[in-house]
Every structure is written in structure tokens, then in C-alpha cells.
Structure 1
Amino acid sequence: MKIIIVGCGKVGATLAEQLSNEGNDIVIVDKDAEKVQDISNACDIMGVVGSGSSHNVQLEAGIREANLLIAVTGSDELNLLCCLIAKKAGNGCQTIARVRNPEYSQEVRFIREELGMAMVINPEQAAASEMARILRFPSAIKIETFANGHIELLQFRIGANSVLNNMRIADMGAKLHCEVLVCTVVRGDQVIIPDGNVVLQERDIVSIVAPPKMASQFFKKIKVQTDQVRDTLIIGGSTTAYYLAKQLLTMGIDVKIIDKNRERCEELSDLLPKATIICGEGTDQDVLMEEGVNWMDSFVTLTDVDEENILLSLFAKEHAPKIKSITKVNNTTFDEVINKLDLDSIIYPKYVTAEYIVRYVRAMKNTIGSNVETLYRLVNNRVEALEFVIRQSSPILDIPLEKLSLKKNLLIASIYRDGVLIMPNGQDVMSIGDKVIVVTTNQGLDDISDIVKER
């Protein structure tokens, strides 16, 4: 596919890297010549210097041949204008715009339909939704859903006293009397797509696939919390904090927000009358203790400074070991170091936004047989979990799995057929209409046929 990306910020650069790695023809557009050159050289793609809202610049970038234009500049209005011009100048080009202003959040459907856009994405709202999902199930580091919510993928860390310590994966079913599938194990820097002989260890980060009810039973068996948190303390009154608080209050969770800007606190008080808004220094340890960080169920750091967010979460864990912490981190340069710290869930907003868009691009490709219905990236983009729907033309239709020469580091995690979840073995086959979940460290799978080794 030919894709034009307007805007060379964090999200634009991430999209350029990920989409070019998947074999798409990428052109980036930005007014900043230095940024264009840096990203063009790093990703070996074409760059155009200029305003993405210029008709001539879009023509130079190849809008007439483009399949998709993605506008992720710092201006909502500029992004929308870029998409409007692309719809007029392009030849059936689809468009995606990043729109951050909360004032537009109530108008997303109107904007998308009237401008004929494929997607309007709000990064802060997307990140807030991710955080709210985690606080609904606080024992999990990350939660994703497949098959219209009938299948869940949950990540969690094995604690020091967990019954899973030193347990062989193959023995889990008999010992715990519940059927879940372990699809990844992260141990230090190592990412394992496990077989039944892998023995789980303390501090392993484990991903399981199961129906929601079975997942809940599993967590009860291993004695970890399955109920949503009762309350949360949010540091920083950002737009993300507003979206998160709004969702949590709807879920019946008590919310307290600390921000040092009095004007912003007054604004939040008007927008969120059911929340408690504290005007104070959220990085002050005395303020944190006074506001009850040591007895809160959860703690979310949303300041604009990554270092503050990390240190605040570590402080909370020090004074309240059982608290559920969520840490927002914008800079991914040191993500491997950060992931080794004693933090629960870490949210990288640019990854959340990029994942939504990459998921749409995968779905657009519609290759032979079946295409990607759902895509999630795990373990700092080192693992992909994909959902495929099997079509009649699929080349691996009705072939027993044991007869397929599957690629290394790839697991068929589940098959969802007519409302029934199948944890597949070698005799199972993929039939027309099945939803198949694949977990792999191989990047860029576009079709179910890509799971098989090339001859």
C-alpha cells in the first residue's frame, strides 16, 4: 500500500518505522526539513518538505496514487484540513486524522461521516480507555479482547508466593482445574513462545488466552484480585486525566486528582463534579501521604515528565505494596530499562495511537484467504497477537494443524467457532468462519497463510 504520513512527531515517526517495516510504500510530509531527513534516512523512505494541507505538496507526495493519508501533526484543524484536501485530490484515498481537543470528542461521528474519513483517533482518549480497562481488572498488566469480547488476552506478573512458581505449563490444567492457554512468557530480556515443558518462575510476565469467565476463575485459583479497584489517585490534571476520570466515575470508581495549576483545578471541578480535585504539588511526598496514597487501591501518574511519573509510581509501591500503579511514559528510548523496574502497568501513548492505526492498515490490505481482523502489540512491540477470520479461499482450510509447517516462535492460541472456544491441538483444523488467534514474535503477518513457513 502507498501511505502518506503528514507530521513527523513521535507518532508520525513510529508509524513511519512500523508501516515501512511491513513493506508499505511510505512518504512522510513535514515543514521541518531536518525531521523529514532524519526519518527518511532512518526508515529508507521518501520525504517531502512542506505543509501537508497544501494541494501542491500532496501532489508531490503522490496523493493520486496513495491508498491512505494519515495526518498526525500537532494541530487538530490542520489534520482535518489535510484529510479534506486528500479526499478531493486523491483517487479514492482513505484518510485518518489525529484529533486531540476534548471539544471535538462529542463530534467525532459527525466529523468522520461528513468528511468521509476512515478514522478519527484521540490519543489521550485511547490511552485513558486502556488505563480504565486495566483498573477494571487490576491484577493484569495488560488486557486485550478478541472475537467481539468473547476471548481475552491478559498479561500478569508472577509474584513471590504465587502457586504458579516452579509449575510446568503442561501441569497447569490438572493442578488448577481451569483451561487457559499460556501464549507468552517474558523472563528478563527474553521473550518465550512457550511449549508445555516451560517452567514458570517468579517475576515472569505471563500472557494467557481464555474466555472472560474462565480467566476470572483462573485468577481466583491463583489467588489474585479480580474485582475492579474501588478508588484511584491521579497525579496530573491533563486531558488524559479528564478522560480517565470520566470513565472511572461511570464505572463507580472514586476518583481524586492532584494538580498544581489552580485554574486547571477549577476547570476540572466544573467538568468532573463527582471527582475530588486537589490543588497541590503532586510530587510532594507529604501531599501524597496526606491524600491517602498508602490506602488507595490504585495510583496513576500522568504528569508531563516521564521521570516524575516513574519515581512517583515507585514511591507509591514503596508505601503501599498492594497498590495498582499505572505509569504514563512518552519517551521509549529507555523502555527496556523501565520495564525492569518494580512498576505494574506502563502506558506508552504513542504506541497506543500507532497500534490503532496499524491495525486499520492491516485490515485494509484484505489479502487472499483471510485478513487481520484485530491486532495487538505486546512486550514493547516484540510480540504480536492477531485475529484472523478464515475465508473459503484460504489455502490452509481444513488441514490438521499438525500437518502445517508453522513458522518458529508462533503459536495458534485459540479457535473461536460458533460461540465455542477451542484450545487447539494437532488434530484440530481451521474451518470457514472461524476466528483464529495467533501469537508470534514474527512481524508483519497480513494473512493466515503467513503462519506457514515458505517453501
Structure 2
Amino acid sequence: MRVIITGAGQVGASIAASLAADHDVIVIDIDGERVEELTYSLDVLAIKGDGTSLSTLKEAGIETADLFIASTNNDETNVVACATATAVSDPFTIARVKQTNYLETWNQTGNTFGVDFMVCTDLLTAETIVRVIGLPSSQNVDIFAGGRILMAEFRVPSGSPVAGQTVKNADNFIELTFVGILRGDSVIIPTGDTVIEAGDDLVVIGSPESTHAFAGVLSPDHTEDQDIVIVGGSQTGVQTARLLEDRDRHPRLIENDHERARELAEELVGTTVMESDATDREFLDREHVGDADVVIATLGSDEKNLLASLLAERLGVDRTITVVETTEYTDLFEAVGVGAAINPRDATAEEIIRFTHGTENVALVEHGCAEVLEIEVSPGSILENRSISESMADLPTQVVVGAITRNGSVITPRGDTVIESGDHVVLFAETAAVETVAKMV
């Protein structure tokens, strides 16, 4: 398949890296340094140019492209790029947008703007935040098999009952599999004898009931989050508030701009909108923000989000969730005390990669060092009518079967479990093994 990607930032580069091994990938970017960097780091053709320019698209071979992905940081540029591509050829087009108004228009009018599939960063980020809120101690949560399976990533705190235990002793849950441990820069595929250490990021896959039960072990004193405060009336903050309202939650939202606060007060009927500076200690004390269960920072600036989160921690908030635009800051934010750092570009790349892989679903783990894939087993698959132990002998060692669903029921994988055609299988794999696995299963 011939794939053209315009925009070589984090999202575009992640997609290119995911597709380069098996497809003819061309990346367009206006930044010459970025183009040169990609030329040496990935097996792709990188072109300096404007993705909305017809001459640049022709240079990239748009006439023979099967897939066109517009992933720059500008919504209008992405929409125009897709429209230009479809004016001269017939590729399947994917546009990344931040603002939900484009998504709403596209959903209502079908294939408008020349876009076949639209991904909204603000909405995806808000959905990720709400999933993380729903699972205590988690840093990342994704849904598979229509909600019957969860993938969750937990940071193991010092003093946790799990720290110092082997996987065999810690795994006391019927429908849960410990599929990966992220320790420093390493991805560990655990065995029963692997010891879990404080500070590890532990990736589990299983039913919602078992995943929540394990979260309860990590945070035995946690109760349901009722008092949720959103700091910042950005689009991500607004979408988060709407999703919480849909779940019968009534968050509080702090917005400093007078006109924006008035607008949001009228728009968000189930949210209490407060006009103030979120770093005003007197205001925060008066409104008992320190008593909140969760504070979510969506101010549109990494520095402001970090300040708001650390202040909330100092006030005594149980848990903080922060939007982090700069990928390199994510681990740093969590290291200095932020409960969960959500990167919008990761969420967007996940959605597009899921679509391009042709899998049922996909989740990136730790900014792409590993992936969780959901596949439906088809006739001829290496998994069909074989036990897991037999199949694993032929698959790369960096792969774990995390869960299976069959006719709506969850099956916990064991070595002697036989996988059947039509089963939905959720796999954890190191990134280096993903393409090989996708071909084999």
C-alpha cells in the first residue's frame, strides 16, 4: 500500500514508523530539519514541502496513493490537504483535527471536506481522561472487545502490597493477565517468577471487574471519585466535562477569562463553572479544591498545567491528571508527582494506527514502546484451532496473549487454551514485533 502522510510531528512520525516496514510510505513536512531527521531514522521517503500544494502532492505520487493522512498541527491545513488530494486522485483520506466543530460537521454531512475518516484530538484526549478517572491508580486505560476487556497501565507505588511480589503471587484475579512490565527503558515480558518492583509500570489486560479489583489492591483506601475539578476551559476541558455529565457526574470547572466562563456556564448545564485564576490560593481554599477527589489540568500550556497540578497536590487533592502536549515531559511530570500525564498526540496516533493496521483496536503503551492489539481470528490464522502454548512457539518472544472473548464471554488465556476462528484475541507486543505478529495472526 502506498501511504502519504503530511505533517511529520509526533503523530505523523509515529504513524510512519508503524507502517514503514510493510508499506511504501512518503512523509511531507515544511520543516527541512525534520525531513532530514526522518530520512535517516525511518525507512520512508521524506519530502520538504506544503501538503496542501498540488505540486508537492504530485511529487509525492498522490495519483497512485492508496491512503492519505493529514496530521499537521493545523486543522484547516489538514482539511485543505485532504480536499486537494481527492481533487486529483482517489486515496482514502484521514484528517486529524483538534476542534470538535469540524468533527460535528463531518459526522452530520458524511464525506464532506473530502475526508473519509476524521480524528478529533480534543475528544480523544477527553475520552482518555474519563477512562483514567474511572480506574483508580491508572495512568492509561483502553477499551477492547466492545468494553468486555480493559487494558490498563499502573504505576506501582512504594509500599504497595504488590511491590516485591512475584507475578505468580500477585495475580489472584480470575480474568486478568499481567502482560508487561515497563522498568526504566526496558519492556519486560513477565513470567510467574518475575518480581514486581516499586516504580514499575505494570500493564494488565482483563475483564473490567478483575481490572478494577486489582486497582483496589493497589489503592485499598480509594473510594469512588465524586468531586472532580477541571482547571481550564479549553476544548479538552469542555469535552471532558461533557463526557462526565453524560455519566451523571457534576464536575466543577475553573476558567479565568470572564467571557469564556460565561459562555461555558450556559453551555455546560451539569457543570459548575467558576471564574478565577486556578493558582489563586485564597480562591482554591475558599472553594475547598483541596478536598477534591481529582483535579484535571487542561490549561493549554504544559507549564501552567504542571503548576496547577503541583499546587493541587500541595492542597491535598487525592489525584491529579494533566494534559501534556510535549511528549518528552510526560515521564517527568509523573516523576514529580502528577498522577497521570495524558498526551493528546499519543491518543491521536493510536486512533489512526488502529485504522491503518486493519485491526479491531490498538493501544500504544509508553509512547509506542509496545502496543496492545485486538484481532479477530480468521481461518488460516496461526492461532486457529491451536493451544496458546503451541502458537507461542511460532510467534516472537515479545508477545503475550492477554485475553480472549468468544461469543461475548471473556476467556482467561492459559497455555492449554485452544483459540477458535471468530475469537477476539487481545495481544500485548513490543513494537519491534508488532508487524510480524499482525501478519501471522
Change (3 A) 1:208 1:303: same
* 1:352 maps onto 2:352 in alignment: no
- 2:154 corresponds, among 141, 153, 156, to 156
**Counterpart mapping for 1:284-363 below 5 A:** 284-320=280-316, 323-363=318-358
In 2: Cα distance, 1:395 partner to 1:280 partner: 59
Mapped pair 1:232 → 2:221: no
The answer for the alignment partner of 1:45 in structure 2 is: 44
Change (3 A) 1:45 1:178: closer
Q: Which whole-Å CA distance do the structure 2 matches of 1:136 and 1:406 have between them?
A: 34
In the superposition, relative to structure 1, how do residues 143 and 309 fare at CA in structure 2: closer, same or farther (>3 Å)?
A: same
2:93 is matched with 95
Instruction: Name the counterpart of 2:53.
Output: 54
1:414–1:438 Cα contact (<8 Å) kept: yes
Within the candidate set 123, 126, 134, 1:125 is matched to: 123
Give, in angstroms, the shift of residue 135 of structure 1.
1.5
1:270 counterpart residue number: 266
Displacement of 1:6: 2.0
C-alpha change, 1:185 and 1:12, in structure 2 (3 Å) is closer
The letter for the 2-side match of 1:15 is I
Distance 1:171 1:400 in 2: 24
Which letter does structure 2 place at the counterpart of 1:384? E
Tell me if the contact between 2:231 and 2:298 (Cα under 8 Å) persists in the aligned partners.
yes
- Which SS does the other structure have where 1:58 is aligned? helix
Structure-2 separation of matches of 1:243 and 1:178: 35
Give the drift of 1:447: 6.2
Separation in 2, partners of 1:231, 1:77: 37
Secondary structure of the 2:328 match is coil
8 A Cα contact 2:298 2:323, kept in partner: yes
Question: Bigger shift: 73-82 or 416-425?
Answer: 73-82
How far has the Cα of 1:449 moved from its partner? 6.5
Aligned match of 1:369: none
Which range is displaced more, 130-139 or 100-109?
100-109
Q: 1:431 — aligned with what?
A: 420
Q: In structure 2, give the amino acid aligned to 1:381.
A: G
Give the corresponding residue for 1:367: none
Q: Classify 1:451/1:283 alpha carbon distance in 2 versus 1 (closer, same or farther; 3 Å).
A: farther
Cα separation, 2, equivalents of 1:326 and 1:265: 21
Offset from partner CA, 1:70-122 (integer Å, 9 cap, x none):
112344333223223323422x4100012333333422323443456431111
**CA deviation map 1:101-152 (0-9, x unaligned):** 3333422323443456431111011101110111222332221121111111
In structure 2, the CA distance between the partners of 1:224 and 1:380, relative to structure 1 (3 Å rule), is: farther
- Which runs of no fewer than 5 residues in structure 2 stay unpaired? none
Q: Unpaired runs of 5+ in structure 1? A: 364-371
Per-residue deviation, 1:37: 4.1
- Whole-angstrom distance in 1 between the partners of 2:11 and 2:320: 25
Say if 1:388 and 1:447, in contact at 8 Å, map to a contact too: no
Match of 2:396 in 1: 407
Quick one: structure 1 residues 218 and 186, their matched pair in 2 at CA, closer, same or farther if it must change by over 3 Å?
Answer: same
Which sits farther off after the overlay, 432-441 or 1-10? Answer: 1-10
* TM-score, normalised by the number of residues in structure 2: 0.89
Q: How far has the Cα of 1:435 moved from its partner?
A: 1.2
AA aligned opposite 1:399: R
Give me the whole-angstrom Cα distance separating, in 1, the residues matched to 2:14 and 2:373: 20
Letter in 2 for 1:144: D
Indicate yes or no: 2:132 matched with 1:134.
yes
* Shift, 1:225, TM fit: 6.6
1:96 is paired with a residue whose SS is strand
Deviation at 1:201, TM superposition (A): 3.2
Kept in 2, the 8 Å contact 1:395–1:449? The answer is no
CA separation of 1:125 and 1:390: change in aligned 2, threshold 3 A: same
In structure 2, do the counterparts of structure 1 residues 280 and 390 end up closer, same or farther at CA, with 3 Å as the change threshold? Answer: same
Q: Secondary structure at the match of 2:404?
A: strand
Shift of 1:439: 0.8
Q: Of 420, 430, 438, which aligns to 1:441?
A: 430
Equivalent residue, structure 2, for 1:368: none
Q: Please give the TM-score of this superposition, normalised by the length of structure 1.
A: 0.87
The residue aligned with 1:66 is: 65
User: What are the Cα deviations for residues 30-53 of structure 1, in whole angstroms up to 9, with x where unaligned?
Assistant: 445454445445435333444333
Shift of 1:203: 3.4
CA contact (8 A) 1:219 1:225 kept: no
Give the stretch that moved more between structures: 277-286 or 433-442: 277-286
Number of residues of Structure 1 aligned to a counterpart in Structure 2: 439
Q: 1:16 & 1:111 partners in 2: Cα distance?
A: 30
What residue in structure 2 maps to residue 6 of structure 1?
A: 6
Change (3 A) 1:44 1:161: closer
What secondary structure, in the 3-state scheme, does the structure 2 residue paired with 1:333 have?
A: helix
Distance in 2 separating the partners of 1:335 and 1:221: 25
The root-mean-square deviation of aligned C-alpha atoms, in Å, is 2.7
Find the counterpart in structure 2 of residue 391 from structure 1: 378
Structure 2 CA distance for aligned equivalents of residues 447 and 434 of structure 1: 20
